[in-house]
Structure 1
Amino acid sequence: MVRIEPFQIKSGRIRSGLTAALMAVGMGIGSAAGLPAQAETFLEESGTIVPAEHSYTFEGTAGQAITITLESEEFDSVISLIDAAGEEIAFNDDFGGTLNSALFVTLPADGVYTVTARSFSGEGGDYQLVVRLSSPFDITYNEAQELNQQGNFEDAIARFTDAIALDDSQASAYLGRAEATLGRLYTEQGDSIAGPEDIPADIREVIISDFERAADLIAASGNEERANYLREQTDYLRNGSSEPGM
């Protein structure tokens, strides 16, 4: 058990007799791969998980803002945070349209917390788990996500824009802003939007611009498959000739 000052990293390998194909990439809410890189390692470990789950503990203090990420190129990750009473207080499966996971949490009390990392379908592979203090980008991005989930799309767009101003290299913020822009549009116009041709040209270009920027950042990180998926969505918005992936 360690304190998260400044943060901790766990890396290892999940092993299981089960195999499963990775889920198809798609748009999601809020990418661990898109979070800011950290320069200093506080703790790093490697190991083997049998079965496909492992738990780590850390000591936190009330009001502490933390970011937890679980990344793997080999399996669909799932992460949860459990408090000292054994209650799950946060959970994430797919984050930012990827199969990675991330949590942004303000700790409610002093005590020992448990992070559980597991594979969604039981398939094994290498992973990296990071627990660290949240950055200004993390905090702003999380606020934007919460506003988006509440349906407060106008304020969500503003906070996503603030997050981009803090760090313009994070694909997740562009995707979040595009999603909030679409949410605002459907709230205002509802059933009148039957296809991309019904989206006002200026709004469509804003969404396309965010998709294109996100696709470029994701491609630069090495995930060409997902970048191409986003580009298909962009082409569909621009041309409206066929559904993405068809």
Structure 2
Amino acid sequence: MKSQRFQYKRLGLLLALSTGLSCVSLGLPLQRALANGWILYQEGNLQPLVGTHTFAGTAGQTVAIALRTDGFSGAVVLIAPNGDEVARNEYYGRTSGPMIVTTLPTSGAYKILAQSPYGQAGTYTVNVRIATAYDLAFSRGVQLNQEGDYAGAIAAFNEAIRADPQSPEAYVELGNLLYDDARRLKPEEARSIVSAYERAAAAYERQGNQEMAQMLRDLIVVVQAEVSPIPSGAFPGGGVR
């Protein structure tokens, strides 16, 4: 019962992590967006189903298109200049909002659809940037995880961490994968998971996101409890909690 209870608690924390990152603050100044070298940064308000944005793309460019919503589930769709759908995404790992990482097939005006697939309304941001080494590795990790190649996904998230040690999302995804892959946590496995979560928490603190940092530290407690179970009889009346 204890293991099952901790599993439920961990699931709740993971859901909170996912929700927390999908509802990030939308107050990023335009100056910072330009300093980051983003091709596009715009804000919108979905009322209630779709917002449309365009940008000029060049054949062969590999871009990262990110949608961040304020309190609702979203999806992002990329439409080529000829009207064909290039890619769409509604789920991008457990710690990120919808994101597309793809190579543009042709030059011209591309259309981005910011969608609210469940009929919800609210504010959002969408940005387009040239994909970084981190974006490419993280995207590959998400794809491999969805395909069931957990060893490949772990390697990809480690590659993302090497590319950008300051970004917390890859640490979280790596910790989640290691946890999911462990049937029974051994001390050395737990150390790897805890290390990933601790680094993610520290990265969130540097970003000023204390809530996410605390959620991860709560998750660390759950992982450590799985490794060091409370013995039967530790509480009045016997049994475990």
TM-score by length of 2: 0.68
Residues 141-152 of structure 1 mapped to structure 2, 5 A cutoff: 141-152=138-149
Which residue pairs with 1:237 in the alignment? 223
Contact 2:201–2:214 under 8 Å retained in 1 = yes
Match of 1:56 among 53, 56, 70: 53
Which stretch shifts more, 159-168 or 47-56? Answer: 47-56
Contact 1:212 1:230 in 2 (8 A): yes
* SS at structure 2 position matched to 1:25: helix
Q: 2-side partners of 1:104 and 1:235: how far apart?
A: 34
Q: How is 1:1-246 mapped onto 2 (pairs within 5 angstroms)?
A: 25-26=16-17, 38-40=35-37, 42-46=39-43, 48-84=45-81, 86-98=83-95, 100-182=97-179, 185=181, 193=183, 198-240=184-226
- Structure 2 portions without partners, runs of 5+: 1-14, 25-31, 231-240
Over residues 59-81 of structure 1, what are the superposed CA-to-partner deviations in whole Å (9 max), with x where a residue is unaligned? Answer: 33343210011123443332122
Residues 199 and 44 of structure 1, relative CA distance in 2, 3 Å threshold:
closer
Q: For the Cα contact (< 8 Å) 2:51–2:115, is it kept in 1? A: yes
Query: Structure 1, residues 27-50: CA drift from partner, whole Å, max 9, x if none?
Result: 59x9797xx975345555555543
* Cα 1:220/1:169, change in 2 over 3 Å: same
CA distance in 2, matches of 1:104, 1:180: 21
- The Cα RMSD (Å) is 3.5
Gap change, CA 1:82 and 1:235, over 3 Å in 2: same
- Write the letter of the residue equivalent to 2:16: V
CA spacing shift, 1:143–1:48, aligned 2, 3 Å: closer
Per the alignment, do residues 90 and 230 of structure 1 end up closer, same or farther by CA in structure 2, a change over 3 Å counting?
farther
Structure 2 distance, partners of 1:99, 1:203, is 25
Deviation at 1:56, TM superposition (A): 1.4
Residues 215 and 92 of structure 1: is their aligned pair in 2 closer, same or farther, counting only changes over 3 Å? farther
Give the AA of the match of 1:68.
I
Return the TM-score normalized by structure 1.
Answer: 0.67
Q: Percent identity?
A: 30
CA distance in 2, matches of 1:88, 1:156: 26
1:108-165 alpha-carbon deviations (Å, 9 max, x no partner): 3444432111335444443221111111221222223333333333333233222212
Alpha carbons 1:169, 1:217 under 8 Å: kept: yes
Deviations 1:172-222 (A, max 9, x none): 111222234345x35xxxxxx2xxxx2111011101111122123234434
4+ runs deviating over 6 angstroms: 30-33
Higher helix fraction (1 or 2): 2
Determine if contact 2:46/2:122 at 8 Å carries over to the other structure. no
Give the CA deviation at 1:58: 2.7
Distance 1:26 1:112 in 2: 35
Q: Which has the larger radius of gyration?
A: 2
- The 2-side partners of 1:163 and 1:32 are apart by 23
Q: Where do 5+ consecutive residues of structure 1 fail to align? A: 1-23, 187-192
User: Counterparts of 2:164 and 2:86 in 1: how far apart (Å)?
Assistant: 28
Q: How many equivalent residue pairs?
A: 207
